[in-house]
Structure formats: structure tokens, C-alpha cells
């Protein structure tokens, strides 16, 4: 059985899920021994620990000029001292160019089988990837497992499935028969999906696999060789994925340089060299808006970006204020607010939020939010593991200086102790109250656990401000709470015009931060937060070109 036949059932289910948009997960998200094996967790932790302080020699690509690595664990605040092979940008591109003419000739089903098999190999290392993610990003264990392993694999499979669907959307051959009265003109026609060329995927420091694999697998399924350029602070998780894919390529007699790891260090970064190289045709990027905009303006490139945004929560009326406050406190605290979908601006009418027990003032809601944040942070069984650790020292500095933004401090940030890692870099959310006319304060992304309660004239102004922020500065998510049908439609319509999806009335175990593969489009591509979306047809189709040939029937 070839690899496509082996994985055809899961690929077919994934294609069906793309159309249905209902729940589908090919890779179970719970790290249960019954699913992954009794020793899977311990084996993964041991594999990670065994890699620390050593060369990562699992890649099959050759020709490195040196070895290096500068990853630091946010939990231990010490260097991991893992060394990766470092390549010149020119070497990586040359290798990719050579591999291109092999990979583009491989039919889409064979590609799909190879790529799906790489995810099965990745699955065997989910726990190792989880610990690698913890100690490069600061994510808590459960998030590190879910986001970097099964959820990332689902996003990769989603890209594979979308690629198979789009590349098979039209017939490869057809007989064109045009009646002309006494005779017909007949042409044999064929169409080829021609890949664009060398692709570079630029990873981020907070979600090194989840944000990387969609572009990586979208380019690969469409026939483009890929250079994965991880963030220097978070290399190991995606290095494991690339290593497993290279093994599958080699086993199938293909050039391992079809997918290369282009690691670098803070001392000498190769990102711009790769991006500006004339032979690089496709770029995927997750990161800050300044660099993302620079990439979008490069000539002759297909660029897919996810940049920064200002995410809003519109509070109009609620059925249960305590459940809402608890939900939003968790959303703020999850991974210490270091998610591109985390809430930041909370718009509340000066007359208060409607509840079954009457109006809830801005100050009263702020206190409920603060109480829930403190309750979560001080819960030894939850707080340290939900908050995780802060990946970047600059984020900690931003949080510590948040009171200088102006406004009233409702809740100050503080460090909490992680029972497993005494040196963990931690920060609970800071909550500030500001007036609606202080746009200079809230019209920017304040990355990290920072919440701004903005007092507005009414819900209409709240909606208008949330829309304005999204149109001018970008937004990836929006939360809204209303029990009024007309207000709900107003919010949905206005935020849709700002290309921002809305999560309405979330309570319980689902949060506005979360996006599900096969169902939620992550980023819309319609506002300054990014020009691409995981995984709509455009995310696939811009990576190849349909070219037709025709010839008279003999």
C-alpha cells in the first residue's frame, strides 16, 4: 500500500470537514495514556532533556557552515544550549531550487501521502514537542501539548486537504468540441497546476509549530520546496517536525532539501536575506506589523502574513455577569495574554452592563474581573499552569510599565510562583480603566497580559470604536456579550465590515482566544492584522498557477 492509500481515509475526512465546518480532529487533543501510550509522556520528557546542551543532529540536510543556538527556557531562565546547523541563505535557496524540479513533478496524491505520513511520525513525538514548546515559549504543559502537537498537526492536515481539493478542483484533461455547422473544431486540452517556486516560512517565538505548519504544508502540497526559518528563540519544536518530514522524503527516494530548516541566531539573522532573494517566490510570516508590512511590500513575492492586532470585547448585556467575568479572566490569563487572539480592549457603556439584577457599572465589572483573575492566579492547581511563563523579557517590561499608559489601575500585575520551576518568569494580568477619548492609549497592541476597560457613552459607541480599531490597526478576534437580538446583529454586521470574527456570549470552557482547525478561519486577511487566512482557498491557490495547453485532435 502506498502512502496515499494509507492516509486517504483521513485526508478524505479532512476534506469533508472543510466543507461541513463542524467539529473534526484527526489527532486527539488529550494527552491520555490510553490514547498515546503509558510511557509516552515520560519518554517525551526524557527525549527533550536528553537534547538539552547537545547538537540537534537529526536533520538530513548537509552543507552547514557552523552550529549555533540561543534558546532560553522562560521557566528556568537559562540557555538550553541546543546547537543547530546554520546555513548561508544562498546555500538554502540553492538547495531548494534544485529540489524544486524534483518535487514539482511529484503528483498531488503522492505528495499528500508523504506529508500525511510525516504527521503520523510527528504524532509519535507529540510529547517531546510539547516539552520543547514549554521550554522555548513558556506555554503551560497542556497548551504546549495541544497547540504544538495535535492542534498543529490538524492545521497541517487541513492545509494538505485544502491543497488536494484545490489541485483536483478542475479536470487535468478535456476534449473541447465546438460545433461549427457542417464540421466541428476539436481540441485536446490539458491544464497543469504549476507551483510558484521556493517558499520561506518565518516562524514566531510564541507558537513555533501551530503558526508555522499551515504555510509550510500549504506550500509543500502545492509543489513548492520550503525553507523553514524559525524564530531564534523557539527552534526545537519545529526542528523536530522538519526532521521527521526529511526522514519520510528520504525513505521515498526524494531530495530531503524539499523541506529545510533555516535556523539562525540573534547575532546573525538570515530572514531578510532569504526574503529578498530573487529566487524566493512565497513567504509566510507570523510576527510584528512593522516587519510584516515590509514583507508585504516586497516585489515579486506571494506573501502571507499574520501580524499584530487590537482585539476587543464589547459588553452590552449579560445573562450571568459572574460567568462572563470568569470566562474573560481566563481568556486574559491564558498563556499570560501572549496569544494573537487574546482580548485587550473591553468596551463598557458608562451607564453600565444590563444584567438580570440591574445595571453593573464599569467599576463593578472591573472588580469582578480582577477578583476572578486573582482567584485563578492564586489557585495552586490552576494558576501556574494556565498562566505559564512569559517568553520575552520585553513583554515583562511592558507589563510592569503598563501603569504609565495612564488611566486608573484596577488590578496591578504581579509574579506568582510556579511550584515546578522556581525561576519561572511570570506575570498576572494588569487591568486599567481609561476613558474613550484616550485613543492614543488603546489604539495599539499591548502584547502580553494587559487589559484596558474603556468607558463609552453607549453600546453604539463601543461597537464603533471596536470597528475603528480593527479597520485602522487590525483585529484577529472579538468578543461580545449581549442578550438583545438587534444589538447582536449590529455587532455582527459592523465587525464583519471590519473583517473581524465575533465570539458571542462565551461562558464555560470555550474562550475567544481559541480557533479550531477545519472550522474557524484564523485571521481573515481583511484588515491590518494580516493579509492571509488559515485555511481558505486563497491560502492555497496563490501558491500555484493554472497553465493550459491545447492541440487539435489528430
- Per-residue pLDDT tens for 62-116? 999 999 999 999 999 999 999 999 999 999 999 999 999 999 999 999 999 999 9
| 222 and 347 part of one domain | no
**pLDDT level of residue 403 (50, 70, 90 thresholds):** confident
Residue 518 lies in a domain: no
The three-point CA angle 500-505-506 to 5° equals 90
Q: Is the pTM of this model over 0.85?
A: yes
**pLDDT above 80 for 1:** no
Query: 3-state DSSP call for residue 95?
Result: helix
Residue 370 lies in a domain: yes
Contact between 196 and 281 (Cβ < 8 Å): yes
With pLDDT > 90 as the criterion, what percentage of the chain qualifies? 98
H or E, element range at 546: strand 544-552
| 251 and 375 part of one domain | no
Cα distance between residue 457 and residue 325, in whole Å? 21
Crossing angle of the two packed helices 3-20 and 108-123, in degrees rounded to 10:
90
Residue 538 lies in a domain: yes
| 201 and 289 part of one domain | yes
Q: What integer pLDDT is reported at residue 329 of this predicted model? A: 97
**pLDDT above 80 for 355:** yes
Q: Region 534-554: what's the mean pLDDT?
A: 96
C-alpha cell at 10: 483521513
| 379 and 492 part of one domain | yes
Q: Which residues contact 347 (CB under 8 A, 6 or more apart)?
A: 312, 313, 314, 315, 436, 454, 456, 461, 462, 463, 465, 466
Residue 512 lies in a domain: no
**pLDDT above 80 for 39:** yes
Residue 51 lies in a domain: yes
Residue 448 lies in a domain: yes
| 434 and 327 part of one domain | yes
Residue 516 lies in a domain: no
pLDDT tens for residues 112-169?
999 999 999 999 999 999 999 999 999 999 999 999 999 999 999 999 999 999 999 9
| 285 and 316 part of one domain | no
Q: Which residues contact 547 (CB under 8 A, 6 or more apart)?
A: 191, 192, 194
**pLDDT level of residue 406 (50, 70, 90 thresholds):** confident
| 290 and 331 part of one domain | no
How many domains are contained in the chain? Answer: 2
**pLDDT level of residue 318 (50, 70, 90 thresholds):** very high
pLDDT tens for residues 482-537?
999 999 999 999 999 999 999 999 998 999 999 999 999 999 999 999 999 999 99
Q: What integer pLDDT is reported at residue 523 of this predicted model? A: 96
Q: Which residues contact 129 (CB under 8 A, 6 or more apart)?
A: 44, 122, 148, 149, 209, 237, 240, 241
Distances (CA, A) of 367 to 321, 329, 373, 453: 12, 11, 10, 11
Q: What's the CATH number where 187 sits?
A: 3.40.605.10
Query: 3-state DSSP call for residue 409?
Result: strand
The three-point CA angle 369-372-373 to 5° equals 85
SS (H, E, C) 117-152: HHHHHHHCCHHHHHHHHHHHHCCCHHHHHHHHCHHH
The parent domain of residue 392 ranges over 312-504
C-alpha cell at 446: 499591548
Q: What integer pLDDT is reported at residue 543 of this predicted model? A: 98
Q: What's the CATH number where 340 sits?
A: 3.40.309.10
pLDDT tens for residues 195-241?
999 999 999 999 999 999 999 999 999 999 999 999 999 999 999 99
Exposed/middle/buried for 550, CB within 10 Å: 0-12, 13-18, 19+? exposed
Residue 193 lies in a domain: yes
Question: What's the whole-number average pLDDT of the chain?
Answer: 96
H or E, element range at 112: helix 108-123
| 253 and 345 part of one domain | no
Phi, then psi, of 524 in degrees rounded to 5: -95, -25
| 257 and 404 part of one domain | no
Cα distance between residue 255 and residue 341, in whole Å? 37
Q: Identify which of 388, 392, 384, 386 has the alpha carbon closest to the alpha carbon of residue 418.
A: 384
| 342 and 265 part of one domain | no
- Describe the strand order of the beta sheet including 408-411 as a list of residue ranges: 408-411, 430-435, 450-456, 345-349, 312-315, 478-481, 502-504
Cα distance between residue 542 and residue 545, in whole Å? 7
With cell 514548546, the residue in question is: 133
| 59 and 195 part of one domain | yes
Cα distance between residue 406 and residue 414, in whole Å? 18
Q: Region 459-465: what's the mean pLDDT?
A: 98
| 198 and 271 part of one domain | yes
**pLDDT level of residue 258 (50, 70, 90 thresholds):** very high
- Which of 488, 504, 520 lies at the terminal end of a domain, its last residue? 504
Amino acid at each position: 500500500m502506498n502512502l496515499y492509500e494509507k492516509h486517504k481515509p483521513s485526508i478524505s475526512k479532512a476534506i469533508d470537514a472543510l466543507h461541513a465546518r463542524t467539529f473534526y480532529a484527526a489527532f486527539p487533543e488529550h494527552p491520555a495514556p490510553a490514547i498515546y501510550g503509558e510511557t509516552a509522556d515520560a519518554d517525551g520528557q526524557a527525549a527533550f532533556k536528553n537534547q538539552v546542551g547537545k547538537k540537534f543532529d537529526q536533520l538530513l540536510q548537509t552543507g552547514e557552515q557552523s552550529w549555533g543556538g540561543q534558546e532560553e527556557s522562560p521557566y528556568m531562565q537559562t540557555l538550553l544550549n541546543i546547537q543547530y546547523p546554520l546555513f548561508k541563505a544562498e546555500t538554502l535557496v540553492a538547495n531548494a531550487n534544485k529540489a524544486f524540479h524534483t518535487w514539482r513533478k511529484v503528483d498531488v496524491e503522492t505528495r499528500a501521502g508523504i506529508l500525511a505520513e510525516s504527521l503520523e511520525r510527528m504524532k509519535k513525538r507529540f510529547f517531546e514537542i510539547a516539552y520543547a514548546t514549554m521550554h522555548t515559549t513558556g506555554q503551560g504543559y497542556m497548551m504546549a501539548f495541544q497547540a504544538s502537537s495535535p492542534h498543529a498537526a490538524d492545521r497541517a492536515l487541513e492545509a494538505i486537504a485544502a491543497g488536494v481539493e484545490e489541485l483536483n478542483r478542475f479536470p487535468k484533461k478535456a476534449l473541447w468540441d465546438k460545433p461549427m455547422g457542417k464540421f466541428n473544431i476539436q481540441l485536446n486540452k490539458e491544464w497543469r497546476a504549476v507551483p510558484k517556486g521556493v517558499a520561506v516560512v518565518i516562524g514566531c517565538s510564541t507558537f513555533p509549530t501551530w503558526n508555522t505548519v499551515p504555510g509550510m504544508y500549504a506550500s509543500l502540497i502545492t509543489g513548492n520546496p520550503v525553507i523553514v526559518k524559525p524564530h531564534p528563540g523557539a527552534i526545537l519544536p519545529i526542528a523536530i517536525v522538519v526532521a521527521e518530514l526529511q526522514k519520510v522524503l528520504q525513505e521515498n527516494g526524494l531530495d530531503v532539501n524539499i523541506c529545510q530548516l533555516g535556523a539562525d541566531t540573534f547575532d546573525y539573522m538570515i530572514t531578510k536575506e532569504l526574503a529578498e532573494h530573487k529566487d524566493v517566490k512565497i513567504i509566510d510570516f507570523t510576527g510584528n506589523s512593522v516587519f510584516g508590512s515590509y514583507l508585504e511590500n516586497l516585489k515579486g513575492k506571494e506573501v502571507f502574513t499574520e501580524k499584530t492586532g487590537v482585539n476587543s470585547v464589547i459588553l452590552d448585556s449579560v445573562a450571568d455577569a459572574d460567568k462572563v467575568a470568569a470566562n474573560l479572566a481566563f481568556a486574559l490569563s491564558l498563556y499570560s495574554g501572549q496569544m494573537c487572539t487574546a482580548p485587550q480592549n473591553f468596551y463598557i457603556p458608562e451607564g453600565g452592563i444590563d444584567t438580570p439584577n440591574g445595571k453593573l457599572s464599569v467599576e463593578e465589572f472591573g472588580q469582578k474581573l480582577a477578583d476572578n483573575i486573582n482567584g485563578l492566579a492564586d489557585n495552586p492547581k490552576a494558576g501556574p499552569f494556565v498562566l505559564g511563563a512569559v517568553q520575552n523579557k520585553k513583554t515583562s517590561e511592558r507589563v510592569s510599565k503598563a501603569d504609565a499608559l495612564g488611566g486608573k489601575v484596577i488590578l496591578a500585575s504581579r509574579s506568582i510562583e510556579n511550584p515546578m520551576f522556581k525561576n519561572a518568569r511570570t506575570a498576572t494580568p494588569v487591568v486599567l480603566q481609561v476613558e474613550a477619548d484616550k485613543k492614543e492609549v488603546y489604539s495599539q497592541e499591548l502584547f502580553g497580559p494587559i487589559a484596558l476597560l474603556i468607558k463609552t457613552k453607549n453600546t453604539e459607541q463601543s461597537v464603533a470604536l471596536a470597528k475603528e480599531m480593527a479597520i485602522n490597526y487590525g483585529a484577529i478576534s472579538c468578543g461580545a456579550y449581549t442578550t438583545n437580538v438587534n444589538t447582536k446583529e449590529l455587532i455582527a454586521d459592523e465587525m464583519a465590515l471590519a473583517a473581524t470574527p465575533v465570539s458571542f456570549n462565551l461562558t464555560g470552557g470555550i474562550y475567544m482566544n481559541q480557533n479550531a482547525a477545519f472550522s474557524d478561519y484564523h485571521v481573515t486577511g481583511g484588515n491590518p492584522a494580516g493579509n492571509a487566512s488559515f485555511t481558505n482557498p486563497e491560502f492555497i491557490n496563490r501558491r500555484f498557477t493554472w497553465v493550459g495547453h491545447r492541440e487539435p485532435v489528430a
